[in-house]
Amino acid sequence: MPIYEYKCNKCGEDFEKLVFGKQTVQCPKCNSADIKKKMSTFGMSGVEKPFAGTSSGCSTCSKGTCTSCR
């Protein structure tokens, strides 16, 4: 049951909607079906280390990443 983000092309309202299957989506402000799904990002909590390829850089040495920087 994903939550999608939408923007209404008629009134400009930004909104989120929990969508089940091929359910049709309408703007909650003006009830228009002329909407566009927005590209969404996702967040993660509780992640202690950066993911591969996402170096945060190291300010105490020249390696870029090391265990003393974390």
Span 23-58, pLDDT tens digits: 899 999 999 999 999 986 666 566 565 555 555 555
Summarised one tens digit per residue, pLDDT across range 9-28 is: 999 999 999 988 888 999 99
User: From CA 52, how far away is CA 41, in angstroms rounded?
Assistant: 18
Angle at 46 between CA 42 and CA 50, to 5 degrees: 75
User: Would you list the domain boundaries of the chain?
Assistant: 1-39
User: From CA 26, how far away is CA 29, in angstroms rounded?
Assistant: 9
User: From CA 18, how far away is CA 39, in angstroms rounded?
Assistant: 15
The model's pTM is 0.54
